[in-house]
Amino acid sequence: QVHLVESGGGWVQAGGSLRLSCTASGTISRVKVMGWYRQGPGKQRELVAAITSDGSTTYVDSVKGRFTISRDNAKKAVYLQTNSLIPEDTAVYYCNAEILVLLGMPVRSFWGQGTQVTVSS
């Protein structure tokens, strides 16, 4: 079993910051890409940022310059530093990880339970 546990969501005023954390645990051979997705009210889930095991990153245009994704491979953790938050960032943020559970098996995608981020104007 693999579990992703997120923390760090909450309520913040526009212009504020939050740091989201996500840690993978369980039977894990290797963690490949880790990322953060979000789903706002009435919207589809979208990729916010992703990071490979060697540190290559990608961001959705709307958060570039404001959000920073990072990871700690030893801890199997991924972080999302969110700065200059705006009301449009309000969403449930989900951690995602592509994990090789056992050698010889296919890589599988796992999701966290989600953490709510609310930005008030």
**pLDDT digits (tens), the chain, 121 positions:** 899 999 999 999 999 999 999 999 999 999 999 999 999 999 999 999 999 999 999 999 999 999 999 999 999 999 999 999 999 999 999 999 999 999 889 999 999 999 999 999 9
Q: What DSSP state is assigned to residue 96?
A: E
Distance CA 5, CA 12 (A): 21
Residues with Cβ < 8 Å from 1, sequence gap 6 or more? 26, 27
Where do the DSSP E strands lie in 1-121? 2-7, 10-13, 18-26, 30-39, 46-51, 57-59, 67-72, 77-82, 91-100, 108-111, 115-120
In this prediction, residue 92 carries a pLDDT of 98
